[in-house]
Chains A and B, each alone.
Chain A
């Protein structure tokens, strides 16, 4: 089992056997396994070293010549060091660049706070023309890679450092702007989740079942735009919505869901995730525990939330 970032990169390499209509721009990081893409696709990958502004601007220049570009590096640098280049030269002219931001959230673990992207979704979500997708395992990542080849406006793909347990069948096909209801164990609460938290949400639903609480689990694979129809439907069915994300509780999935529900079907919500703090070094599960993001903790908090009249 590989990390979703490598599954995404491997799928692009596989597709490049028959598709020559895209290029890869790399900085000096090991992110998605695309660093040596030029060895199999000469003149279709370019190395920009440690210079993210130049990296993203050059990607925009290539894309302006009707050529799709993938840029892959750590999300923390991509979305912040080159934020202005993404804004001015990818989003503003609405160019065909897919940004692969990896090592997101506390899942990065030991590298610590400087390398932990806790705010990338909030930043990318506020940029006009930008779409955001996030896989919940390597199978979804592969499907997203195939999807991205025929997507031609700015796209941010939020990827993870370490492998995630496979929770999808191998024939899963990603659908853009469609949230997947992965579990339906009752109508007491809906857990709306994304990315590295999805398998933990499924475990949480099982724990809740033992407590006599029936939960639905919704995997939001497209964060922007967001599948309002599914969100409103599960909110109507349960009356209580919990969001769980490996991202700051401000600006990410919780905010996006609140924007939809507050304007369409005001629903009691509990927003769980990184509690407005930077990351730090440690094993991911120890870090998750600090933010009460482990399944047993989430189940406890949801139980309390559901019991409140």
Chain B
């Protein structure tokens, strides 16, 4: 509880607006992943609008902090954040998933300004983040690297290759987030391949583990403050979230993993998000 009320409220408002933009983009595109975008809104907002050292005027600034959306299918929330940061104009949001768009169905670092890495194939982001963190060693930089994974993604073996190596290498400029929204494409994570006990697994792999309510902005900010002080080991923030958060008919509903809202659903969803109550 070390954040100012004003800061938390300002960031909560940004998270709302990013959620609104997710619904807007995906409904316009008639395709895309809303559920996991909405669950990650507080995490992405805290990173892009509070935590990360960035300069939208210089997207390739060598000293910038890096972000990898390892669960690349949830790029609508990231595109919304990059747009609001000023990497590109709002009209670009209308082009999501359309031909020649800088906003591909899954992130393409060569097309989207401000994007640090392409992603979409699950299980690889943490290893890539480890590489970025090691590049800071080679190039004598002090930037930090943040990787957002899904909870279903924890089923990928490569995640644990990276987990083992990063702690062995004592990489402390690498922070993982796991957006634990408890649903994967076709069902509940616990029923498909149970990843529990997840905190024990990360601890056993040598990581500093922080567990929070990932839809609580203040908790996300506090966790980021905490892990910034941890030296000699990487940190992972296990964020308990709700898939589809902010829209009553999408919350914890597996079909909203990759379903696009129609016009009427989008209007209801945006009203709920912005007014904070069921429409």
- Residues of A bordering B, CB below 8 Å: 23, 25, 43-44, 46, 48-49, 51, 53-54, 57-67, 84-85, 88-89, 92-94
Contacts and interface: CB of A to CB of B under 8 A. Distances in A.
Contacts of A61: 68, 117, 127-135
Contact of A60 (B108, B110, B131, B136): B131
Contacts of A48: 161, 165
Nearest to A67: B135
Given A23-B138, A89-B124, 15 more contacts: A44-B138, A46-B169, A54-B158, A58-B131, A61-B128, A66-B62, A84-B121, A85-B158, A88-B120, A88-B124, A89-B128, A93-B108, A93-B110, A93-B117, A94-B110
B168 to A, nearest CB: 8
Contacts of A58: 127-128, 130-131, 134, 162, 165
Measured as residues with beta carbon below 8 angstroms from the partner, the interface class of chain B is 20 to 34
B134 A89 contact: no
Contact of B161 (A23, A44, A53): A53
Interface string B149-170: 0000000011001101100010
B228 to A, nearest CB: 20
A244 B120 CA distance: 39
B137 interface: yes
Nearest to A63: B131
Most buried by A among B108, B134, B164: B134
B139 A65 contact: yes
Nearest to B129: A61
Contact of A54 (B60, B108, B135, B165): B165
B109 A62 contact: no
A248 B110 CA distance: 34
A264 B97 CA distance: 38
B37 to A, nearest CB: 21
B118 interface: yes
A49 B161 CA distance: 9
B179 interface: no
